[in-house]
Amino acid sequence: MMWTCFIYRVFFSFIILKRSNGISSPIQPFTEYKHSTELQANISDLWWTIDDAEREIVFELHVKTTGWIALGISPAGGMTGADIGVGWIDQTGTVQFQDRYAYNRSRPVIDYTTTDWFALQGREQDGWTAIQFRRLLETCDSMDVPIKSGTNILIYAYGLVDPDGNGEISYHESRRGSRMLPLRYYIDQLPQTEYADLDSFELRINHSVPVADTTYYCKVFKTQITYPTKRHVIAHKILLDSNSREFVHHMSIYECDPSTQFDNTKLPDDVCDDIRDQISLCSSTVVTVWSVGGDEIMTYPEEAGYPVGGDFTVNYYMIELHYDNPRLVSNRWDTTGVRFYLGDKLREHDIGYLTFGTDSTAQALAIPGGADRFIVDSYCPASASLNIPKSGITVFCALPHTHLQGQSVWTKLIRNRTAVQYLFNSEAYDFNYQFHNRFPKPIQIYPGDEFATRCIYNTKNKNLTTRGGGRTKDEMCIHGFIYYPRMNDLSMCLTHNDWSAWKRFLNVSAENFDETALQEILIKIKWTPQLVAQWQSFYDNTARGVTYGRSPFIIVETFAALPKYQDLEPERCSRACHTQISISSILIVLLARKAKTFFS
Ligand SMILES: *[C@@H]1O[C@H](CO)[C@@H](O)[C@H](O)[C@H]1NC(C)=O
Ligand SMILES: *[C@@H]1O[C@H](CO)[C@@H](O)[C@H](O)[C@H]1NC(C)=O
Ligand SMILES: *[C@@H]1O[C@H](CO)[C@@H](O)[C@H](O)[C@H]1NC(C)=O
Ligand SMILES: *[C@@H]1O[C@H](CO)[C@@H](O)[C@H](O)[C@H]1NC(C)=O
Ligand SMILES: *[C@@H]1O[C@H](CO)[C@@H](O)[C@H](O)[C@H]1NC(C)=O
Ligand SMILES: *[C@@H]1O[C@H](CO)[C@@H](O)[C@H](O)[C@H]1NC(C)=O
């Protein structure tokens, strides 16, 4: 039990978040904290400390209001399923606090199982409210969200008045926000001056904001790097443009395959779907993502850097930018981009990207409409990982990626047909909140390792088939990992369903059944629950092809069915994780120490 808790806490990943730490609250915090951040400029600040036994977190939230204030832990970035602490200072100057839970986007209900958020003290001053409160990291309460060792999604909101006589809070309207933070592994802001003197280069959009509700805009860049010898990028910063910031919803930056060739005087630069064919070799290796609420500066591990210059083979990058412009505002210019900072010294390792999942085609992904939980599995066999050096590679960051229907993405590390651990489990994935997930403890993988990847989709809001593809309304199942040292012969390992299996399943006899013919069938299907179940069973049992390598050295293999493996024990929550300072917590620490000496 204790061990389960320990594993549970250690294996979730985190992001390093660095942003302006400008605290604006006029109120002095009640005590000193390990961490602090500004949640919203001039509106809200947060401080926190996790105790040494890693069991409890103490927060202090300051908000510019004399009404109620709230901080929540969200499973996926929104209110649904969020565990929320709500507090205020009443007429008598006493702090009041409630443990609430949001079933959906309506007003969260009072937690009716166990109360797990507790106020310590609070006060109002100069039009601000400050409350110090605590919570266990793992409460084992179905109406709470564990504060996992990994990326935590904080949501906050506030009202202008105290709750009414019944303790009911008023609607927050637009007074809300969210932030991703690795609460348990937060690295406080390094001042911008850390980077100011470094050499850097930028990739920037230079385009007017499209006058359309939603646009995916893609622009390919030729690297302008001409350093005769290799240098290392050690951090990058997302450059937002104040003219266009409100329209930039999210951005992904891709490495184009080294074999890509373009006419350098006419690089692709257009609505992505209009140039899909041209940019197909630029779509599978994600270098970084940024979305609303995400961190702007990303630093790389000290021992590794992203190589540029010298004989590095990547010549092109692509920015894919999602513009949201529902009010159809015109005449806005956008220069969003990214700046890469180059270290003064070369680091020990080069960083690389490795992608698991499926191809982004209908052949690989044809997801029925009206499905609650449609599961698409994929498997990367040992033959692919034989390209990994004997000494192994170190994986330190995960970038799960699906589109709107994606609910969850995970990859398990399989050794000798036994699942050893999650490489990463993005249990609660949200397209609108994509982040770098930095592992607290990097994971070593070796030749012969295999990788099971699962993407889970919900299509309850759709009647039609969702097909694999690059458009937002299409789907993807891409689980990217960042690692070192970089391999030159393996960048992806992706599956698709076998054509003859499709033909048998769809009762098609056509000789040359292909993507176009399949699409034609898919768009006409009227989904029923029975049919959805039939498709799930097809997906669970069908023959598949797997493509791996790095172009132009691509290998295709087939499986009659996905390999079976001994799965992980299901995780169970245990109250033993947090009995008050007890033998068990001492044991956890001892076990942790021991584990450290075993693994280091
Ligand atoms: C916050 O307040 C400072 C000082 O009054 C001001 O310069 C700054 O623009 C404000 N920032 C925002 C985002 O409102
Ligand atoms: C939302 O949750 C509330 C309980 O908080 C429930 O009464 C309501 O029916 C739910 N609404 C939807 C649309 O599920
Ligand atoms: C951006 O585009 C404008 C208008 O097309 C052009 O005048 C300008 O030179 C471009 N800037 C850069 C940095 O390419
Ligand atoms: C792999 O598993 C089999 C059966 O469980 C076992 O006999 C074998 O020793 C294992 N091999 C390794 C290398 O662990
Ligand atoms: C699905 O189709 C039905 C009938 O054509 C329609 O009434 C319904 O609104 C559609 N639902 C969605 C989510 O598109
Ligand atoms: C294919 O044919 C079989 C037998 O005629 C039938 O049971 C099945 O539903 C058909 N499949 C599809 C997808 O139409």
pLDDT band (50, 70, 90) for residue 300: confident
Decide: residue 485, CB within 10 A, 0-12 exposed, 13-18 middle, 19+ buried: middle
Domain limits, CATH 2.60.40.1210, in the chain: 2-186+584-599
Nearest to 581 by CA among 41, 53, 2: 53
Residue with tokens 């397209």: 431
Q: Give the residue, out of 80, 83, 101, 104, with the most ligand 2 atoms within 8 A of its beta carbon, to mutate for a pocket test.
A: 104
Q: 3-class secondary structure for 360-379? A: CCCCCCEECCCCCCEEEEEE
* pTM of model > 0.85: no
Q: Which of 103, 109, 171 to mutate to test the pocket of ligand 2 (most atoms within 8 A of CB)?
A: 103
Q: Which of 357, 341, 244 is nearest to 292 (CA)?
A: 244
pLDDT, mean of residues 56-76? 95
Check whether 421 has a pLDDT greater than 90.
yes
Output the DSSP codes for 381-417: -HHHHTTS-TT-EEEEEEEEE--TTEEEEEEEEEETT
Comma-separated ranges of CATH 2.60.120.310 domains in the chain: 191-344
Alpha carbon distance 509, 511 (integer Å): 6
Which residue type sits at 47? Answer: W
Q: Name the DSSP letter for residue 245.
A: G
What CATH code would you report for 351-568?
2.60.120.230
Quick one: pLDDT band at residue 188, thresholds 50, 70, 90? low
User: What does DSSP assign to residue 7?
Assistant: H
Q: Whose CA is nearest to atom 11 of ligand 6?
A: 506
pLDDT digits (tens, 9 = 90+) for 531-547: 999 999 999 999 999 99
pLDDT for the residue 595: 39
42 lines ligand 1 (CB under 6 A): yes
Q: Which residue's alpha carbon is nearest to atom 14 within ligand 6?
A: 506
Residue 508 CA to ligand 6 center (angstroms) comes to 10
Measured by CA distance, the residue closest to atom 11 of ligand 2 is: 104
Structural domain 2-186+584-599, CATH architecture: Sandwich (2.60)
Q: What are the start and end residues of each CATH 2.60.120.230 domain in the chain?
A: 351-568
For the 191-344 domain, the top CATH level (class) is: mainly beta
| β-pair type (466-467, 366-367) | antiparallel
Q: Which residues, 6 or more positions from 148, have their beta carbon under 8 angstroms from its beta carbon?
A: 8, 9, 12, 137, 184
- Give the pLDDT of residue 389: 95
* Residue located nearest, by CA, to atom 12 of ligand 1: 41
> What pLDDT was estimated at residue 591?
42
Closest-CA residue, ligand 5 atom 5, reads 463
Which is the closest atom of ligand 5 to the Cα of 461? 13
Looking at the CA of 207, which ligand is closest?
Answer: 3
Ligand lying nearest the CA atom of residue 103? 2
Instruction: Give the bridge partners for 308, in sequence order.
Output: 231
